[in-house]
Structure 1
């Protein structure tokens, strides 16, 4: 996952800490003074960064004097951190379920804060009204199933008005035919798009004024809740921001030397899509897709998807 040029941002590793970790990965065991010289930073700042990296299991401090530091093996250290994140997401999904239970239990006594919307046409109408009314910031969690097969007609107009539009897509969304083409077209207009696994609800938040939240995913677009300014709306805003921070950007840099399809292939690999789904998005056979993936890994000098992400980020291809 990449955020502001960082691949470890979803694991709550700061930009400077990641730079220090990468330097240790690429070089020999180092003292604080040696590493500070290579990074061009003060030793005090570096010691604090190394302490944080040690606490996360990414760096080891070796015995002896002067003290030397070495990077932990990425496959082992990062796998442990990823498992911790997965546990956090599982707790978050449970919290979302608990919030839904609380809402249903208390909605009779809080009719001013929430409003039940039923029927596919009514849900679609409220969604359109929500988008038309947004002034500054639209936040979306997107996942199938969908009530309509058509693309969103309101978003391009809102983007032209200068609305900041952020969308986090479930990997299942990207597995649908032509989904990636549509998202890239919206990115060209200004949408900021990311992908994250485990999105439990469909969610649209207009500014800090209202949110439309799906109630039943199995029956696409037939039942939703409109949440007005309240503690519940604040909770959904925090839930979106939590998901956004841990999601992976979809697009590759236009300045990348990679061909357009290879940039898309790299983005889909890092998003965690399965080979068959990636092949469908790129309009090629799975066998051809795997051959291109191997070529891409060879080009980056990577043995796996994680290493491909690290190398692509270092080279500014993401």
Structure 2
């Protein structure tokens, strides 16, 4: 039986040869040497990293990504490319506008010229449909606030395709999150995912007003800020939209940048471990005092030292105090 190849996922024969060789070797001391052994050039190894088939450490070591994860990356690349192609075709074909004209022609609806500048949207399903439509047609800017600071897994699943679609088109995305985001790991993971794709995200320690503004031409605000499931107000009235943009810019100006993973405040258990570094003479006693295994204790210590860039545990405790973690 012939060996399956990765060509259908956009990988060239030379790239696949290099990846398979890396899998057999496990690790390469530098990518140039790996490329030479595979009979190719350094550009091929750069392409492997770009495709998600390998990672390069800060010391130049080239490591292969596990096969399952590598294929997952390749599938994501192909789907992103196909989605971008289809979205471009949709935008240039005018099919959405054509369908909207059909809906507008229905006798139960107002003709487009009579659409009021402020509309009341009732129910979450209707609101989500409006959000989807607004963001689909966004061309330059998307402004969003989240007064709770928490993005549930369900909300992330709904928002991800919309947000990534906006970012792929080069639309500037600015998002303001309330401070509780800092203590919610799933939320921070999603925010960093967006930031990696180009989104600008800030954390506000002041109260936020919930809003979504697209292209400074349309804005969505809740009917009842305390009960957002009731619905929302959609306004295209220039004066109202301009006022909301000004409010957003003021909230943005006083918010802080999204912290990097190294700057992220420690969790409760991590704070207790940092404290134990100053008081416990051995890992065993520190783990026992905290009621965790020595292995778990050491895993946390290693992670904290890496984040603090400390060379020893005493220095880690000092750096943690300097950062206000203790």
Higher-RCO chain (CA-CA 8 Å, sequence separation at least 6): 1
Task: Write 1 or 2 for the structure with the bigger share of helix.
Answer: 2
TM-score (norm 1): 0.48
TM-score (norm 2): 0.47
Of structures 1 and 2, the larger Rg is shown by: 2
